[in-house]
């Protein structure tokens, strides 16, 4: 531990997203806020991202081109420009410009699903990450790579880049969501400039093709995922998405570290998007946020005291909002509650939610889309935040909710189980409501439990809100755990067991 605090590391993060430049979900939040917190501890942190067309223009205005072009050594050599963004304090960002791959108005998919050339796009990013240090004349101690899109970096490091300037550079792969693994046709081996010897079932091969994430898991010096419970779950067939055996094989190198949040961006006391700011000592101002929201969205003439339940999510099977949609008519018929839902994703689920909301406009409001300002306002306005995820590697929205004095109602899985203390364990420590099985009945009962507590025991609700707001969800603890992992990875690279 002494060593961890003393030595300043050179860390290169490689990812396909980082807020505020490009974000499709929690990955983008985590990459930038973790990088910020490591930089604040004095480490030399740099982040490599693609130069996407969709990065907001006002941010791009702060980027500067680096002189020269970088040569990216795939099967064939490619040439690209690099842009740099150097904030006043915090990590340095590099953006690789290659319009053929990144000049698109979406990150990963179009109207008909994932882009077909995603494997080539992210093989390019990974190989650029390997070529970057020589271009910059800056050799990192550690690569911290995120999800399948960056998972070929450890593969390159342990094979074609094993000798040379990166010979002592270790690697840590963080898995944010195992559902996405990056499958490609076997021809990607030639494209990526990797040796065919890697095309084996205990390395990159899977189902006759190539699995990027599997390769990363096999070759990274250390593996992490984003909560301790998910780190256990993925060793089982129910959650391992076919990779459970390799997780058991590499079990000694796999660590679960709970995500932190950006406490400046998500702070109800200073959040500029809210009609009223508040902290745990003046929660009556939170009621103003609710009143304002209900007046705007439900057209209330004055305050309505019914509890407001909120869900903000990508609308995919993982998030379990189909289960909520199934019971919602029944819930509003039998309980005096209101629901506001923000999300987009699967068309059928969007349609289902829109039609339910259309039938009960005074009780259910649904906004189909992605809107960060609205996400902040709804989190502040809500009494309860519903997360019936089938699986949840970490989840950030329940952390944001607790920080905003909103009580999460969650299925006991992954990071939800690790972060929410259930009312069932006593009101003194409770921060939300946790249910064990994801069934219609269990979700209905959990909502009923929260609703009954709201009407019958308002003082308990207040205590639970304050409990959540007192919790430390910063990166303080977790960034130190990542530093430990970096040191373990570097030792492993040097041949220590
Ligand atoms: P995941 O990464 O699986 O989508 P997380 O809970 O880890 O789930 O992170 C989701 C992030 O995306 C949060 O910052 C959340 O506020 C945001 N988000 C999800 N859907 C929307 C939406 N429709 N509008 C605005 N923000 C959204």
Same domain, yes or no: 15 and 145: yes
Contact criterion met (CB below 8 Å) for 409 and 219: no
- Per-residue pLDDT, averaged over 438-457, amounts to 98
Contact criterion met (CB below 8 Å) for 384 and 308: yes
Same domain, yes or no: 466 and 480: no
Give the CATH number, domain containing residue 466: 3.40.50.2000
The pLDDT of residue 138 is: 98
| 2: confidence class by pLDDT, cuts 50, 70, 90 | very low
Question: Which protein residue's CA is at the shortest distance from atom 15 of ligand 1?
Answer: 397
pTM (2 d.p.) = 0.93
| 6: confidence class by pLDDT, cuts 50, 70, 90 | low
The pLDDT of residue 89 is: 86
Q: Is residue 355 part of a domain?
A: yes
Q: Is residue 159 part of a domain?
A: yes
Binding site membership of 321 for ligand 1 (Cβ less than 6 Å) = no
* pLDDT for 77 beyond 60: yes
Q: Which of 47, 51, 113, 120 is nearest to 82 (CA)?
A: 51
The pLDDT of residue 113 is: 83
Our measurement of the distance from residue 497's CA atom to the centroid of its chain's CA atoms, rounded to an integer in Å, reads 31
- Per-residue pLDDT, averaged over 6-20, amounts to 93
* pLDDT for 4 beyond 70: no
- Per-residue pLDDT, averaged over 105-124, amounts to 92
List pLDDT tens digits, range 207-256: 999 999 999 999 999 999 999 999 999 999 999 999 999 999 999 999 99
Rg of the chain taking only CA atoms, in angstroms:
23
Question: Which protein residue's CA is at the shortest distance from atom 12 of ligand 1?
Answer: 25
* pLDDT for 5 beyond 70: no
Same domain, yes or no: 147 and 48: yes
Instruction: Provide the terminal-to-terminal Cα distance of the chain, rounded to the nearest Å.
Output: 18
Tokens coding 96: 């690789």
Same domain, yes or no: 195 and 292: no
- Per-residue pLDDT, averaged over 458-477, amounts to 96
The pLDDT of residue 55 is: 97
Same domain, yes or no: 205 and 353: no
- Per-residue pLDDT, averaged over 129-153, amounts to 98
Q: Is residue 185 part of a domain?
A: yes
Q: What is the mean pLDDT of the chain?
A: 95
Contact criterion met (CB below 8 Å) for 189 and 210: yes
User: Which of 180, 312, 411 for a ligand 1 pocket mutation test, highest count of atoms within 8 Å of Cβ?
Assistant: 312
> What atom in ligand 1 is closest to the CA of residue 29?
14
Binding site membership of 375 for ligand 1 (Cβ less than 6 Å) = yes
- Per-residue pLDDT, averaged over 391-416, amounts to 98
Q: Residue 342 C-alpha to ligand 1 middle, in angstroms?
A: 10
In order, the DSSP letters of 415-472 are: HHHHH--BGGG-TTT--BEEESS-SHHHHHHHHHHHHHHHHH-HHHHHHHHHHHHHS-
Question: Which protein residue's CA is at the shortest distance from atom 18 of ligand 1?
Answer: 313
Q: Residue 174 C-alpha to ligand 1 middle, in angstroms?
A: 18
> What atom in ligand 1 is closest to the CA of residue 343?
23
The span from the CA of 129 to the CA of 192, in Å, is 13
- 20 preceded by a cis bond (ω within 30 of 0): yes
List pLDDT tens digits, range 423-434: 999 999 999 999
Same domain, yes or no: 182 and 80: yes
Binding site membership of 31 for ligand 1 (Cβ less than 6 Å) = no
Quote the number of domains for the chain: 2
What share of the chain has pLDDT > 70, as a percent? 98
The span from the CA of 37 to the CA of 482, in Å, is 11
The pLDDT of residue 176 is: 97
Same domain, yes or no: 310 and 248: no
Question: In sequence order, what are the beta bridge partners of 124?
Answer: none
Same domain, yes or no: 388 and 405: yes
Q: Is residue 77 part of a domain?
A: yes
Q: Is residue 290 part of a domain?
A: yes
The pLDDT of residue 111 is: 76
Q: Is residue 270 part of a domain?
A: no
The pLDDT of residue 1 is: 44
DSSP 8-state assignment for residue 252: G
Q: How far is CA 367 from CA 337, 370, 387, 487, in A?
A: 18, 9, 17, 45
Q: Which of 238, 228, 234 is nearest to 249 (CA)?
A: 234
Same domain, yes or no: 481 and 466: no
Q: What is the SS3 assignment for 11? A: strand
- Per-residue pLDDT, averaged over 489-496, amounts to 90
- Per-residue pLDDT, averaged over 370-374, amounts to 95
User: Which of 396, 399, 400 for a ligand 1 pocket mutation test, highest count of atoms within 8 Å of Cβ?
Assistant: 396
Same domain, yes or no: 409 and 486: no
Phi and psi at residue 65, in whole multiples of 5°? -75, 140
Binding site membership of 312 for ligand 1 (Cβ less than 6 Å) = yes
| 112: confidence class by pLDDT, cuts 50, 70, 90 | confident
Domain region containing 319: 283-470
Strands 338-345 and 308-315: parallel
Q: Is residue 226 part of a domain?
A: yes
- Per-residue pLDDT, averaged over 475-483, amounts to 95
Binding site membership of 179 for ligand 1 (Cβ less than 6 Å) = no
Q: Who has greater pLDDT, 305 or 414? A: 414
Q: Is residue 395 part of a domain?
A: yes
What share of the chain has pLDDT > 90, as a percent? 94
Residue 328 CB burial class (10 angstroms; 0-12, 13-18, ≥19): buried
The pLDDT of residue 302 is: 65
Tokens coding 165: 């300037």
Look at the block and give the residue holding tokens 């009609």.
275
Same domain, yes or no: 458 and 489: no
Binding site membership of 351 for ligand 1 (Cβ less than 6 Å) = no
Q: Which of 118, 114, 129, 116 is nearest to 74 (CA)?
A: 129
Binding site membership of 283 for ligand 1 (Cβ less than 6 Å) = no
Same domain, yes or no: 183 and 247: yes
3-state SS, 121-169, equals HHHHHHHHHHHHHHHHCCCCCEEEEECHHHCHHHHHHHCCCCCCCCCCC
Binding site membership of 33 for ligand 1 (Cβ less than 6 Å) = no
């Amino acid at each position: 531990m002494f060593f961890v605090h003393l030595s300043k590391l050179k860390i290169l993060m490689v990812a396909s997203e980082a807020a505020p430049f490009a974000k499709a979900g929690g990955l983008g939040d985590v990459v930038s806020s973790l990088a910020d917190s490591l930089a604040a501890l004095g480490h030399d942190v740099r982040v490599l991202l693609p130069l996407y067309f969709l990065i907001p223009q006002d941010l791009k205005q702060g980027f500067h081109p680096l002189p020269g072009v970088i040569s990216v050594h795939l099967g064939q050599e490619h040439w690209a420009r690099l842009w740099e963004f150097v904030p006043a304090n915090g990590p340095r960002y590099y953006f690789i410009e290659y319009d053929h791959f990144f000049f698109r108005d979406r990150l990963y998919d179009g109207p008909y699903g994932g882009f077909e050339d995603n494997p080539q796009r992210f093989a390019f990013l990974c190989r650029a990450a390997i070529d970057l240090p020589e271009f910059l004349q800056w050799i990192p101690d550690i690569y911290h790579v995120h999800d399948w899109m960056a998972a070929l970096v450890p593969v390159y490091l342990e094979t074609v880049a094993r000798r040379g300037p990166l010979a002592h550079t270790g690697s840590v792969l963080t898995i944010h969501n195992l559902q996405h693994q990056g499958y490609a046709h076997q021809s990607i081996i030639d494209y990526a400039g990797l040796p065919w010897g890697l095309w084996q079932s205990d390395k990159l091969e899977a189902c006759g093709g190539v699995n990027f994430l599997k390769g990363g898991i096999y070759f990274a010096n250390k593996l992490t995922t984003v909560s301790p419970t998910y780190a256990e779950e993925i060793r089982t067939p129910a959650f391992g998405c076919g990779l459970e055996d390799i997780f058991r094989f590499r079990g000694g190198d796999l660590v679960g570290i709970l995500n932190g949040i950006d406490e400046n961006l998500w702070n109800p006391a200073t959040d500029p998007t809210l009609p009223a700011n508040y902290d745990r000592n003046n929660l009556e101002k939170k009621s103003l946020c609710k009143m304002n929201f209900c007046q705007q969205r439900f057209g209330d003439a004055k305050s309505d005291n019914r509890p407001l339940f909120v869900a903000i999510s990508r609308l995919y099977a993982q998030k379990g909002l189909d289960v909520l949609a199934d019971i919602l008519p029944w819930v509003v018929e039998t309980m005096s509650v209101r629901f506001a839902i923000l999300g987009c994703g699967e068309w059928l689920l969007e349609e289902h939610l829109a039609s339910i909301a259309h039938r009960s406009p005074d009780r259910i409001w649904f906004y189909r889309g992605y809107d960060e300002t609205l996400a902040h306002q709804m989190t502040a306005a809500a009494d309860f935040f519903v997360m019936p995820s089938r699986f949840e590697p970490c989840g950030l929205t329940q952390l944001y909710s607790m920080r905003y004095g909103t009580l999460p109602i969650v299925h006991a899985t992954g990071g939800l189980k690790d972060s929410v203390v259930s009312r069932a364990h006593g009101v003194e420590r409770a921060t939300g409501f946790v249910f064990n099985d994801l069934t219609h009945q269990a979700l209905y009962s959990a909502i009923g439990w929260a609703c009954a507590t709201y009407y019958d025991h308002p003082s308990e609700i207040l205590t639970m809100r304050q409990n959540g707001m007192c919790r430390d969800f910063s990166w303080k603890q977790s960034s130190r755990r990542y530093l430990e992992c970096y040191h373990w990875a570097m030792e492993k690279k040097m041949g220590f067991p």
